[in-house]
Structures are given as structure tokens and as C-alpha cells.
Structure 1
Amino acid sequence: MDTTTRFAIQDLYADYTRCVDDSCYEEWPEFFTDECLYRNVSRENFEAGLPMSALALESKAMLKDRVYGVTQTIFHAPYFQRHIVGIPKIISESDGVIVSEANYLVIRTKLDSFSEVFNAGRYIDTIVRENGRLKFRQRICVFDSELVPNSIIYPI
């Protein structure tokens, strides 16, 4: 893989992280193709090939609906999140389809308490180029714990 593409993938990860950490949720679906899969799943279920997920969205339209829910209808105690994402490892590239993985850690900070580890795991991504821009066709967030504090509200 050429260096330009590697840097573009790193930029995709960095831009995605900035988007969700800065609460720019209206921009979040634009990181995905129209037909996409965004899934948050425990490692246990992922490794067993089980479909049960904490969250599974199967198109950009579903991602937009989630944004509406997060910003307009879901009532919850507000919190901020900060991602620490490892350098993406390119697993494969074939016919313009890139599969990559990166470890992530999400720190959650509520207004009235200390920061805490909220979620840790790895992204397993399928990336394609659409109109000259890299986008996720599939983003699977495989979290290490079988337990998730409260619920996952914001994108991981």
C-alpha cells in the first residue's frame, strides 16, 4: 500500500475521532457509505459469531436516525467522551477495499465526577473510496468487556 493511502487512512481515523469527541454528531454519518454497517458488539459475541450487539445500524439512514435520537429525543445525564485510538493496522487491500484494525479506549467524563474508562476494544473496519474520499463501509467496534456501563449513547 502506498504511503499516501496509509496517511489518508490515519486521517480518516483522526477525523472520525475528532467528530465524535467534539460532539459533531450531524457530521458522523458522512464518514460512512450509504449502504454500511456500524455495530458495537462484545468480544465474546463477536468471537462466537453471534449477532447480538449493543448497537447495530445497517445504513447511513439508520445512522442519521441515531443522531436524531441522540440530539433530540434521548434523555440521559450528559457526559463527554475522549477517544485514544492506536495507529491503524492494514489487514488487507483488494480491488479498492481496505480492511484495517485499530485499538481504541474511550474515557467518559460526567460533569459531576472524575473521568473513567468507559469502553475499550478494537475497531474492525472495511474502508472504500467514494467520490475521492475514504469512507467506512463497515465499522465493527468490538469491546473487550461483557459489561457496558449504563448504555452506549454516543458513537464509539
Structure 2
Amino acid sequence: MKTDNYLKLTQFYQNYAAVVDQANWSEWLDMFVEECVYKVQARENFDRNLPMAALSLTSKGMLKDRIYGITETIFHDPYHQLHMVSSPLILSESDNGVIESQANYTVFRTKNDGIAEIYNVGRYLDRLRITEKGIQIESRLCIFDNEMILNSLIYPI
């Protein structure tokens, strides 16, 4: 393992959490390569290799459509998210700049009534690429442990 990549990766995970928590959607999009996968899937389906996912986006164009929906068309009770992300575990590193890693996450949701609740808990399984723009996501699987998602999934995990 390359120590400098571990430090960059740790910063990347924390930056991802901050970007999503602050609803900085243009910066969130920049964290992905053009040909990417972003999936939010129940652990049970993942473990059984079943394809059903709460959210499955297979290109940066689909991510852009999702952000358009969030900002322009989806009506929902407003809430804020707060991500807590563990230190990453590097599963593999290749000489061509690809890192496979995972990190655990917890997402808290706070509605305007002030009551905070645990919204989603799980782990990220990532395939990341080191590019001239820094670390970018080729594939992010958000594997959640809870059997159901409260209300609906609006914002990225």
C-alpha cells in the first residue's frame, strides 16, 4: 500500500461526505468519471447477488438527471443529512491508478422539526481512479444494512 494514496483516499472520503452534506451537487458530479456506476442497494440483495437496488445510475449523465430531479422536480419535506464515514480500507491498488476500497458510513437525517434520526447505515464499496483531477469514482456501491429506507431516497448516500 502506498501511504500517500491512503492519506489522499482518507481526505477523499471526508470531502465526499462534506460535499453531499452541503448539497454541493456540481462538486459531487465532479467526483465521478464519465463512465461510472452509483448504486444504493440493500445488503441482503448484494449478498445474494440480486440486481434489485433502491437506486442504480450507470453513467454521469444519469447522475446529472438525478441532481436535476433533486433540485427542480422532486417535492419532499426538507431535511439535512450528516455523514459519518470511517477510515477507508484499501482492498487493492494497481499500478495504473485504480484503487478498490471500502469504508463504513452512517447518515443522520434532521428534518425542520429538529428531530435527528439515523437514516441509513452501511458501507461503500468503491472502485476509484487517480486522475489529473485527483481521485474520482468509477463505481460506488452503497450497501445499506437497514432493511428499509425511511420515507424515500432523495439525496445521494
TM-score range, shorter chain: over 0.9
Aligned-partner Cα distance in 1 for 2:106–2:133? 29
Deviation digits for residues 69-114 of structure 1 (CA, Å, limit 9, x no counterpart): 0011100000000000000000111232110000000000000141
Q: What is the SS of the residue equivalent to 1:124? A: strand
Structure 2 equivalent of residue 12 of structure 1: 12
Distance 1:113 1:131 in 2: 41
Q: Which residue matches 1:67?
A: 67
- Distance in 2, matches of 1:41 and 1:136, equals 17
Give the corresponding residue for 1:48.
Answer: 48
Aligned length: 156
> Which residue number in structure 2 is paired with residue 92 of structure 1?
92
SS in 1 for 2:53: coil
For 2:60 and 2:133, how far apart are their aligned partners in 1? 18
Q: CA deviation at 1:132?
A: 4.5
Structure 1, unmatched stretches of 5+, are: none
TM-score (norm 2): 0.96
Structure 2 gap ranges (5+) = none
Q: Which residue type is aligned with residue 22 of structure 1?
A: Q
Identity of matched residues, %? 48
- 1:153 deviation in Å? 0.3
Q: Runs in 1 of length 4+ with deviation above 4 angstroms?
A: none
Partner of 2:79: 79
Equivalences for 1:1-156 in 2 at 5 Å?
Answer: 1-94=1-94, 95-156=96-157
Q: Counterpart amino acid of 1:6?
A: Y
- Distance (whole Å) between structure 1 residues aligned to residue 118 and residue 133 of structure 2: 36
Paired residue secondary structure (1:36): strand
SS of residue matched to 1:146: coil
**Any idea what SS the aligned residue of 2:127 has?**
strand
Bigger mean CA offset, 35-44 vs 21-30: 21-30
